[in-house]
Chains A and B, each alone.
Chain A
Amino acid sequence: MGKTIAEKILSRKSGQDARANDIVLADLDFVMGQDGTSPLAIKAFEEMAGKETFDPSRVAMVIDHSAPSPLEGVSKLHAQMREYARRYGIILYDIGEGVCHQLMPEKGHVVPGSLVIGADSHTCTYGAINAFSTGVGSTDLAAGMMSGKLWFKVPETIKFVIHGQLPPGVYSKYLILYLIGDITADGATYMAAEYTGEAIRALSVEARFTISNMAIEMGAKAGLMEADEKTMEWVKRHTGQPFEPVQADPDAEYYMVKEYDVSALEPQVARPHTVDNVVPVSQVAGTTIQQGVIGTCTNGRLEDLRIAARILKRRKVHPDTRLIVAPASRRVMLDAIQEGVLQTLIEAGAAVVTPGCGPCVGTHNGVPSDGENVISTANRNFKGRMGNNKAFIYLGSPATVAASVITGQITDPREFLK
């Protein structure tokens, strides 16, 4: 019997014939924490009497969730992370470098066929480049930093085969929202998702990250894709380290195979307060909004900012609406400046903030007021997510947000792309 991508990577890393539902102890290729989870991991590391990390060049901490620090208490936690990084020689990405899930692949820490953990639930993002990457808690992170190992239950896999061609103006964000709406928020709990088919292969690597990023929003442990020529080219541009991709066997055993044809897919929007509350944009068009957010680990890459700029060029943000833009990383921000993309967005009326997670997680940089509606490119719209549990969050693509901040209401972006 053949194996899924998850079974193959976990077999390779555990040295065992790993099959779904087995429990294995596996070697980690990279370990990451952010400023919401690293302080507790540092505490656990000290309690475990950790003397050193398994390999400081394969451990990174990222200050991105509250960056720069908005509060004295947070500043203390950041200071702890900097002190830990200095003492143990690990990699530290300080304020302004960007969102952890953009940085891990962009800085070349993640390659196809590797096994990565991060103390952040959206660590599943790197499945787009064929890595088994998954979110864990702080104690797991501490054990991983110390031993370079972690236990895993080998997940069963749901295979999503996406046929057809996305119509013009219909982006990967709409595809993943559609899939989550169909399978629901816990439809893939404990499992891995594999995304394949010609519609996936047609996407850029950047657009694929958006899909794998949201695997957790269907409960999945990993959101895996096969490595093709685009993947290889992308990875080689970001790192010189050798790698060996993994493909699913044709006779691999799946928990379920779901097939879709997306040739007629419309732009989708997730309504408050759950990510699987998904409808075509036509059903919510006209809803007044007070704030738009473009950025996050889901949709803050250069391609995303370009799409927004194309719509906002020579147009203005509606006077009753605000637009916040948070590029996913310093690199993305610099590239966007160089191309004139950021200038276009600022001229249209955007407030650009430091690369980081702030607006999405509600730590700072754009907490909405009571009763306000927000349209965001983020991955979660839980009540209170942006820092106010009396606000309403809708999720869409960068195009939806750009079009909606021009009209001041939720808008089908295709009207601006003709």
Chain B
Amino acid sequence: MEFKGIAHKFGDDVNTDYIISGRYKFKTLDMKELARHVMEDLDPDFYSKVNKGDFIVAGKNFGCGSSREQAPLAILNADISAVLAKSFARIFYRNCINTGLALIECDTDQINEGDELEVDVEKGVIRNLTQQRDIPVKPLPRFMLKILSDGGLVEHFKKHGTFNFD
């Protein structure tokens, strides 16, 4: 899982209602439609700015709030390749792994809005191409990488019928 794209920066405590507002969340299960409104309350033009492969880069406690999976699914369907944050809320973290959205904990103060990044999720490497430096990363545990590289928990179960970490 190697990605290259531009960083779109957000602050601390971005909750699941900011990621996708309740105005849309309860109306439809069409994730492509939900994706058009991702992060809208924080940046109304966000969806139109994003190019395939770009990153959401945020502060601490990203994804706090509800347990609903519409939040990572909306991000995924907006063609964001990974979310980088100082820390994640626990249920959101699980939901990302399970829906196949890559996420990385790191010191995001070393990334500015618009920086070009190269990220290797499996190796745990972030290269800030704009600032020409590497950012140390806490690598994902093997269990989670396995689910993520299968494309999420549904695909993992389709492939193995149950949890399989061998």
Instruction: Mark A residues whose CB is within 8 Å of B.
Output: 23, 25, 36-37, 40, 44, 47-50, 119-121, 135-140, 142-143, 146-147, 149, 151, 153, 185-186, 189-190, 219, 221, 382, 384
Q: Take A47-B154, A146-B157, A147-B162 as given contacts and tell me if A382 and B65 are in contact as well, using a CB distance cutoff of 8 Å.
A: yes
Instruction: Mark B residues whose CB is within 8 Å of A.
Output: 13, 15, 17, 22, 29, 60-61, 64-69, 87, 89-91, 94-95, 98-99, 141, 143-144, 152-154, 157-158, 162-163, 165
Complex alpha-carbon distance, A149 and B160, angstroms: 14
Task: Give which listed residue, B69, B90, B153, B158, contacts A190 with CB less than 8 A.
Answer: B90
Interfacial chain B residues near A47, Cβ < 8 Å: 154, 158
In chain A, what residue has the closest Cβ to B143?
A23
Q: Take A121-B66, A189-B89, A219-B89 as given contacts and tell me if A137 and B22 are in contact as well, using a CB distance cutoff of 8 Å.
A: no
State whether A136 touches B154 (Cβ < 8 A).
no
Interfacial chain A residues near B15, Cβ < 8 Å: 382
State whether B22 touches A384 (Cβ < 8 A).
yes
Interfacial chain B residues near A186, Cβ < 8 Å: 13, 60-61, 64, 89
6 extra A-B contacts, CB within 8 A, seeds A37-B68, A136-B67 = A25-B165, A50-B157, A135-B91, A149-B163, A186-B89, A221-B90
Task: Give which listed residue, B13, B95, B158, contacts A139 with CB less than 8 A.
Answer: B95
Instruction: Report the minimal beta-carbon distance from A277 to chain B, rounded to whole angstroms.
Output: 13
Complex alpha-carbon distance, A121 and B68, angstroms: 9
Instruction: Report the minimal beta-carbon distance from A48 to chain B, rounded to whole angstroms.
Output: 4
- 6 CB-based A-B contacts, threshold 8 Å: A37-B67, A137-B67, A143-B163, A146-B162, A149-B163, A189-B61
Task: Give which listed residue, A48, A151, A153, contacts B154 with CB less than 8 A.
Answer: A48
Task: Give which listed residue, A40, A153, A221, A382, contacts B69 with CB less than 8 A.
Answer: A40
Interfacial chain B residues near A121, Cβ < 8 Å: 66-67, 91
Closest 8 CB pairs of A and B: A48-B157, A139-B98, A137-B95, A147-B162, A186-B61, A139-B153, A137-B69, A121-B67
Q: Take A49-B158, A186-B61, A382-B17 as given contacts and tell me if A139 and B152 are in contact as well, using a CB distance cutoff of 8 Å.
A: yes
Interfacial chain A residues near B152, Cβ < 8 Å: 139
Complex alpha-carbon distance, A339 and B152, angstroms: 51
In chain B, what residue has the closest Cβ to A66?
B26
Instruction: Report the minimal beta-carbon distance from A152 to chain B, rounded to whole angstroms.
Output: 9
Instruction: Report the minimal beta-carbon distance from B161 to chain A, rounded to whole angstroms.
Output: 8
Instruction: Report the minimal beta-carbon distance from B150 to chain A, rounded to whole angstroms.
Output: 12
Complex alpha-carbon distance, A185 and B61, angstroms: 10
Instruction: Report the minimal beta-carbon distance from B144 to chain A, rounded to whole angstroms.
Output: 8
Task: Give which listed residue, B60, B89, B99, B153, contacts A143 with CB less than 8 A.
Answer: B153
State whether B94 touches A219 (Cβ < 8 A).
no
Instruction: Report the minimal beta-carbon distance from B149 to chain A, rounded to whole angstroms.
Output: 15
Instruction: Report the minimal beta-carbon distance from B2 to chain A, rounded to whole angstroms.
Output: 24
Instruction: Report the minimal beta-carbon distance from A223 to chain B, rounded to whole angstroms.
Output: 13
Complex alpha-carbon distance, A146 and B163, angstroms: 10
Instruction: Report the minimal beta-carbon distance from A210 to chain B, rounded to whole angstroms.
Output: 20
Interfacial chain B residues near A120, Cβ < 8 Å: 67
Interfacial chain B residues near A137, Cβ < 8 Å: 67-69, 91, 94-95, 98
Complex alpha-carbon distance, A49 and B143, angstroms: 22
State whether A135 touches B67 (Cβ < 8 A).
yes
Complex alpha-carbon distance, A190 and B90, angstroms: 6
Task: Give which listed residue, B95, B98, B99, B163, contacts A147 with CB less than 8 A.
Answer: B163
Q: Take A48-B154, A140-B98, A186-B61 as given contacts and tell me if A151 and B163 are in contact as well, using a CB distance cutoff of 8 Å.
A: yes
Interfacial chain A residues near B87, Cβ < 8 Å: 189-190
In chain A, what residue has the closest Cβ to B98?
A139
Interfacial chain A residues near B143, Cβ < 8 Å: 23, 25, 151
Complex alpha-carbon distance, A391 and B57, angstroms: 31
Interfacial chain A residues near B153, Cβ < 8 Å: 44, 48, 139-140, 142-143
Interfacial chain B residues near A40, Cβ < 8 Å: 29, 68-69
Interfacial chain B residues near A119, Cβ < 8 Å: 67
State whether B154 touches A44 (Cβ < 8 A).
yes
Interfacial chain A residues near B91, Cβ < 8 Å: 121, 135-137
Instruction: Report the minimal beta-carbon distance from B30 to chain A, rounded to whole angstroms.
Output: 13
Complex alpha-carbon distance, A221 and B154, angstroms: 23
Complex alpha-carbon distance, A135 and B22, angstroms: 20
Interfacial chain B residues near A146, Cβ < 8 Å: 157, 162
